[in-house]
Amino acid sequence: MTDKNTSADTLIRLSAAQLAEKLHAGEVTAVEATQAYLDRIAAVDGQVNAFLHVNAEEALAVAAEVDAIRAAGGAEAEALHYLAGVPIAVKDLIVTIGQPTTAGSKILEGWHSPYDATVVERLRAAKMPILGKTNLDEFAMGSSTEHSAYGPTRNPWDLDRIPGGSGGGSAAAVAAFEAPLALGTDTGGSIRQPGAVTGTVGVKPTYGSVSRYGAIAMASSLDQIGPVTRTVLDSALLHQVIGGHDPRDSTSLPEPLADLVAAAKTGNVEGLRIGIIKELHGEGYQAGVENRFNDALELLKEAGAEIVEVSCPNFQYALGAYYLIMPSEASSNLAKFDGVRYGLRVLPVDGPMTIERVMGATRAAGFGDEVKRRIILGTYALSAGYYDAYYGSAQKVRTLVQRDFEAAFAEADVLISPTAPTTAFPLGEKLDDPLAMYLNDVATIPANLAGVPGLSLPGGLADEDGLPVGIQLLAPAREDARLYRVGAVLESLLEAKWGGPLLAQAPDLAAAAAGTLETQEAK
């Protein structure tokens, strides 16, 4: 390995905040950092399949612009955003000018958005080079990224295992050091569960605190865009870039964001009440997950937090309610993919060429099985005669889940649970069993139903399989800052316990790639 490679290898392993510091100090240029990530993508993404599209030219142009501004100095350099020049990957559910947006679906193959999502505009305003678009379950429907029409993403910890979903591409890109930062979307856990199983940090902000303008809608009353990163501070930094009011999203909260970065730097949890949710651990959770969860509680207690137990009895109905509300909203949102307005158009092979038959042929060919399953489920739940029994009851459960949270937050400042019941499972294991797949989100869905923010951070490795375990923190709506405060403290305590960041223990994919080539040559 040459010195240049060594330094590129060190560069891609820095957190976004560390990279930003080096950029400010002039120790590295934005072009060098961006090129190091592009080289890493070229070296390992053949194995991981985190990216659906890489936009090297545009990313390098933005990086070069940042370098030129810095080199010139003066007011323009002063005005550069702290993260200027720090590259980022974007989930391919979020629209971008100049790069295709597929939503992981054949129906949008080759489609280009004529506009940028608000979050993308904000990345561009901060001059963060966008490396490319990441893989996902089709229209964000899934927990393993196996439902992508463009092949599954693989977990960098074990390439035969799933990276979680739907945002497996964003999480795997960050975990495999292909990007320091990524954007995800979370409707029922799609940022947090992939974060948990890849050893990364993922945040679902308070509903309405980050604009969804330009995120292809799955279930509009649940969807939220958020950060995917390697450290809690990086998530706070990215959240601060993308968050805040947007008049183009009618659900956008009017108030400005709190200082999330300052919250991440608070450095103590003394006197905070942290509530264990009785219903979200124990039975049904893998032993190694439970063990790491208990370690986290122990560390927080030692750091001066008060650990209490709360009960949320209606959470047992949350998954059922979600799988009525989400498909109902999705069936309506996905009606616009009709073969007329966007992407694919398939003509019927014979018979009359009516508009209904073109729509039918397009949707039959363009949507995958999971999307069709949910459209059928949602259409059924909303149909006359069933509406009250299904959709209506699910909305009532939603209110009960919100009340459970209100009662729990009267007793605790922050709630805690494992993020997912298990570590990453083997590819293919749950593909034929949708219910088993849906159960991955049992601990993440309540937050979406209630609109409260949630953060998942790596809690260590499970004893039985050596794979990452996620710890989830939940706070009341608009109190995202608490997540960063507790999350950053817990992260530093855990790092002290393991002797460094968890991802440092992940297998070296570049070396593995070289090994594979050697073995193939030997054959």
Q: Decide if residue 143 touches ligand ASN (CB under 6 A).
A: yes
Minimum distance from CB of 329 to ligand ASN (Å)?
A: 11
Minimum distance from CB of 184 to ligand ASN (Å)?
A: 9
User: Per the residue annotation, which of 144, 190, 209, 328 is the catalytic one?
Assistant: 190
Q: Determine which residue in the list 142, 227, 366, 418 makes contact with ligand ASN, applying CB under 6 A.
A: 142
Q: Determine which residue in the list 39, 45, 121, 186 makes contact with ligand ASN, applying CB under 6 A.
A: 186
Residue closer to ligand ASN, measured from CB, 95 or 141: 141
Token couple for 106: 């054949």
Residue closer to ligand ASN, measured from CB, 360 or 434: 434
Q: Decide if residue 166 touches ligand ASN (CB under 6 A).
A: yes
DSSP 44: H
Q: Decide if residue 189 touches ligand ASN (CB under 6 A).
A: yes
Minimum distance from CB of 60 to ligand ASN (Å)?
A: 32
Minimum distance from CB of 171 to ligand ASN (Å)?
A: 12
Footprint on residues 299-338 left by ligand ASN (CB under 6 A): 326
- Angle among Cα 302, 304, 308 to the nearest 5 degrees reads 90
Residue closer to ligand ASN, measured from CB, 275 or 368: 368
DSSP 305: P
User: Among 114-122, 182-190, 241-249, 376-384, which window interacts with ligand ASN (CB under 6 A)?
Assistant: 182-190
Could you confirm whether 166 is annotated as catalytic?
A: yes
Q: Decide if residue 187 touches ligand ASN (CB under 6 A).
A: yes
Q: Decide if residue 141 touches ligand ASN (CB under 6 A).
A: yes
User: Among 7-15, 59-67, 140-148, 487-495, which window interacts with ligand ASN (CB under 6 A)?
Assistant: 140-148
User: Among 28-36, 185-193, 290-298, 387-395, which window interacts with ligand ASN (CB under 6 A)?
Assistant: 185-193
Under 8 Å CB-to-CB from 515, ≥6 apart: which residues? none
Q: Decide if residue 225 touches ligand ASN (CB under 6 A).
A: no
Nearest to 157 by CA among 366, 405, 364, 465: 465
Minimum distance from CB of 441 to ligand ASN (Å)?
A: 5
Residue closer to ligand ASN, measured from CB, 188 or 343: 188
User: Per the residue annotation, which of 143, 144, 166, 456 is the catalytic one?
Assistant: 166
User: Among 63-71, 187-195, 241-249, 410-418, which window interacts with ligand ASN (CB under 6 A)?
Assistant: 187-195
DSSP 242-264: HBS--TTSTT--SSPPP-HHHHH
d(CA 509, CA 370): 31
Residue closer to ligand ASN, measured from CB, 166 or 235: 166
The alpha helices in 219-349, defined as continuous H runs, are 232-242, 260-264, 287-302, 318-333
Minimum distance from CB of 252 to ligand ASN (Å)?
A: 20
What's the order of all strands across the beta sheet hosting 88-91? 51-54, 130-134, 88-91, 181-185, 225-229, 201-204, 454-461, 468-474, 414-418, 273-277, 306-310
Token couple for 285: 């959770």
d(CA 25, CA 70): 10
Angstrom CA distances, 248 to 123, 212, 252, 254, 271, stand at 17, 9, 8, 12, 40
Q: Determine which residue in the list 39, 441, 480, 491 makes contact with ligand ASN, applying CB under 6 A.
A: 441
Nearest to 225 by CA among 105, 136, 153: 136
Residue closer to ligand ASN, measured from CB, 370 or 413: 370
Residue closer to ligand ASN, measured from CB, 67 or 138: 138
Cβ proximity of 441 and 319 under 8 Å: yes
Residue with tokens 């998530």: 235
x/- letters, 38..77, toward ligand ASN (CB under 6 A): ----------------------------------------
- The helix/strand/coil state of 310 is strand
Residue closer to ligand ASN, measured from CB, 441 or 480: 441
Residue closer to ligand ASN, measured from CB, 41 or 326: 326
304: left (phi over 0), alpha (psi -120 to 50) or beta: left
Angstrom CA distances, 447 to 27, 106, 188, 224, stand at 41, 30, 8, 11
Cβ proximity of 47 and 507 under 8 Å: no
Q: Which residues of 200-227 are buried (b: 16+ CB within 10 A; e: fewer)?
A: bbbbbbbbbbbbbbbbbbbbebbbbbbb
Q: Decide if residue 188 touches ligand ASN (CB under 6 A).
A: yes
Cβ proximity of 47 and 269 under 8 Å: no
Minimum distance from CB of 175 to ligand ASN (Å)?
A: 18
Residue closer to ligand ASN, measured from CB, 35 or 333: 333
CA 483 distance to own-chain centroid? 16
| Count of chain residues binding ligand ASN (CB under 6 A) | 14
Minimum distance from CB of 371 to ligand ASN (Å)?
A: 10
Q: Determine which residue in the list 190, 200, 209, 286 makes contact with ligand ASN, applying CB under 6 A.
A: 190
Could you confirm whether 190 is annotated as catalytic?
A: yes
User: Among 134-142, 255-263, 389-397, 501-509, which window interacts with ligand ASN (CB under 6 A)?
Assistant: 134-142
Nearest to 349 by CA among 365, 330, 372: 365
Which residues are designated catalytic? Answer: 91, 166, 190
- The residue ranges that bind ligand ASN (CB under 6 A) are 140-143, 165-166, 186-190, 218, 326, 441
